[in-house]
Each structure stands twice: as C-alpha cells, then as structure tokens.
Chains A and B, each alone.
Chain A
Amino acid sequence: MIAQNFEYETPSTLEEALELLADGAKALAGGMSLIPLMKLRLAVPERVVDLRRVPGLNSIRVAEGQLHIGAMVTHYELESTPLVRRSSPLLAAAAASIGDVQVRNLGTLGGSIAHADPAADYPAALQALEAVIRIAGKGGERAVSAAEFFVDTFTTALEPGELVVEVSVPVEAAGTGVRYEKCEQLASGFALVGVAARVAKKGGKVSMARVGVTGLAGSSYRAKNVEALLEGTTGSAQDVTRAAAAVAEGKEANSDIHASADYRAHLARVYTARALRAALGTAG
C-alpha cells in the first residue's frame, strides 16, 4: 500500500527538529518500523521530521571511559566499526543480530530504542551495560538509565516532543566476558527471548555479573536476581544453571502463536545459562 499524504521536513539543526517535534510531528530515523506502518496506514502522521540532516547524531566516540553513540548511527555501523567492536563487543553483537542486512543498513540505534518493541535486541544489551540515554526536548536535555528508559511495551521515558540524541555505554574493561544469545523468531528475526550477559572474575570468583533480558515480558529488564546468585561463586556449570533458573521469576511471560508463556520462560532459563557460560568462558 501507499502511505497517506504527509508533510516531509528535513531540518538541518537539532533546534529546528525539536521545534517541529514539539508541534506534534513524528520523528523519522531509519524508517524500519515507521515506514512499513505508514504504508499499512497503521501510522498516519500528518508531518514527518527526517533526522538525517541533523548534525551530531552520527558520531561514535570514546571519552572518559564511556563509548558515546549518536542516535542516528545504524546497526551496521555498530556491528562493523572497530572502535565499537573493541569498546563494547556486547553492543556490537546485539546490533549484528538484528533482522537482516537491509534492516541493519538503514535502521538506527535511536530509532529502535525509541520504538521500544518488547522483543528488540538492543534493550537486553543496554540493560546489561547499564547504558545512559541522553534525551533532548525543547525544554533542554536530560539523561536516564536504560532501566528507567524502557517502561513497557512500546512505552519509553520519552515525553511527547522529546528525542533520543545519544546512548552511552561503558568501555568494557579488559577481562570482562560478554555474550548475547537469542532464540529468534525466524520470519521476523525478533527475539522470542534474548539474553545479554557480562561477567568479570577476580581471584577465581565471579566479581561482576550483569544480565539483560528481552522478549520475555512486556519490557526488557535487568535480571538482578540472577546476577546476585552468580556473583561470589566460582562460576561453575552448576552455579550458572542455578542462577539462570531465576531469570523469569516474578515476570509475567508473553504468550503468542510462536511461543507460550511457559515455553518462553523455559527459553529464558536456557539462553541465560548459555549466555553466562559463553561470557564466563572469555572472562579472565
């Protein structure tokens, strides 16, 4: 189908873009979710603001131990840029596992997280990385943690008129092991369940464990109970299995034609164990 008529704007400054957004316009990044929805006429915005000419949203830089990524950086840039692969292999891995190559060439980090699909890949990694998301609005800028940003299905901390401008994650310390494991729904590439893990060891014990989960519930989350069960142990196969068993506790698992709630919870336990084992294998 063809989208309903709409006005198209390509502002060349952030201020201009924010002005248009405050006026009720819809932001367009890579268009991998918005354009199909518009063609199906499920989304019928009167005015679309294409962000491609807004300067400063395409940068990738490292400063003070943090990797800062502009909202318009594409999935492909994240998976292929040496600086990202080195500084945050977990984020690069999550980007590499998204959809297909066409989607990764056009889709952006900011667009994906602002859309907040409950089965998207980035949220798992961003939760495990304790990422900080910088948001701009007409009233100024603010920063929120990934845990605060992802509120619920298609719901984020973004207020109307606000825009994601940058995502910051820590530059991974040497010796930290990371892994993103997902069970994907083959037709869409979205995660039935996706688990991102980061672990570090000190003196033979797990000194740090971070686990982010996507696809299981209405929103991504950090599985703090799993982290707590694993930290302080030697990270043996038994320790991993016991910790991973807690990943779906207290969560209401999604159910759809592809996977029932029980099956999803089971997948979450299996993929958490896999991700932790693989991450521990490279930690040292």
Chain B
Amino acid sequence: MKIHGSHRLPVGRERAYALLQDPEILAACMPGCEALVKVDEDLYEMKMKMALAAISGQFAGKVRIGDRNPVESFRLIVEGTGKIGFMKGEGLLRLREEGAETEVAYEGDVHVGGTIASVGQRLLDTTSKMLIKRFFGRLGERAQ
C-alpha cells in the first residue's frame, strides 16, 4: 500500500528536524508507543500497544533512520510484529520551510499482513492516515 501526505508543524525547519529525530519526543507522540530504545546509531527498538475500536494488539519492532540529509529529508524504516499481524514500511520524509512553519511531506510504501490485513483491508488506508495525523497533531502540540 502506497501512502503519502503532508502535515504542518508550527516551528522552523531546524527545530522540526530535531524533533523528528528525538526518540523521547517520538515515543511520546506515536499512538500506542510504550517504549522506544536506542540500540545502535540510527536504530531503535520499539514496543507498541495499539487500541483502535475494539481491536487491540501488542507489537514489537524496529525503527531505523537512514539517508539523513539534515534539515531537508530522511528515510524512516519501520517494522513490527504482533499476534494480530505484522507491518513493514519505508518512507521518505521531506521538510519544507513555510514562513515560520514547516511542512513535512511523507511518501512511502507499507505492507501489512496477518489477520489484521486479511479482515481489515478496507480500513488500512484510512486507519494509517488517522494514526499519522494523530502523530503529527501531538508532535505539533509538543513543538510549541
């Protein structure tokens, strides 16, 4: 599944870039994130507990940051596995200055498998967009 979109952060580009690389901030803003631990340069281990509608599930996975081009762009590679399914995704995030604000555009490819994908196909796109929106919403609040 291809995903793309953009969100605005109410801070300048340098600050936005720094926020997006800060594991503590990311952990606090990612919906359901319970832990994000640095295990190597640019590599983090993540634990998530998703609760959406009646569905709930725990995921364990890795987050890797690559292709760093400070304050302009970076690549995010995420994978997670849980009882109800697995996901693997890769996306490029681009930061663009918009006056005093920053527009973060993302473009990527996500694969979801397991039970969650076989019964939830119809809802994957709208759900992932909702979660990304929630993430940027919280990040925007933290940024100020």
Contact = CB atoms under 8 A, between A and B. Distances in A.
Given A41-B84, A42-B115, A252-B129, A153 B54 contact: no
Nearest to A44: B56
Given A37-B54, A42-B119, A43-B56, A255 B125 contact: yes
A188 B53 contact: no
Interface of A: 26, 33-34, 36-38, 40-45, 115-119, 152-155, 185, 188, 190, 217-218, 252, 254-258
Interface of B: 5, 52-57, 83-84, 115-116, 119-127, 129-130, 133-134
A119 B125 CA distance: 13
Contact of A252 (B5, B53, B55): B5
Nearest to B54: A43
A167 B39 CA distance: 51
Contacts of B133: 152, 218
Q: Top 7 nearest A-B pairs by Cβ distance?
A: A154-B53, A43-B54, A153-B130, A254-B126, A42-B55, A153-B126, A152-B130
B56 A190 contact: no
Contacts of B56: 42-44
A26 B84 contact: no
A214 to B, nearest CB: 12
A42 B85 CA distance: 9
A26 B54 CA distance: 8
A153 B128 CA distance: 10
Contacts of A45: 54
20 contacts: A26-B54, A37-B53, A37-B54, A41-B83, A41-B84, A42-B120, A43-B55, A45-B54, A115-B54, A119-B122, A153-B126, A153-B130, A155-B130, A218-B129, A252-B129, A255-B125, A256-B123, A256-B125, A257-B121, A258-B122
B121 A256 contact: yes
B53 A116 contact: yes
A37 B123 CA distance: 14
Contacts of B134: 152
A154 B122 contact: no
Contacts of B120: 42
Given A152-B130, A155-B130, A252-B5, A33 B119 contact: no
Contacts of B55: 37, 42-43
A240 B97 CA distance: 41
Given A40-B119, A42-B115, A42-B116, A218 B57 contact: no
A33 B122 contact: no
A75 to B, nearest CB: 18
Contacts of A36: 119
Nearest to B5: A252
Nearest to B115: A40
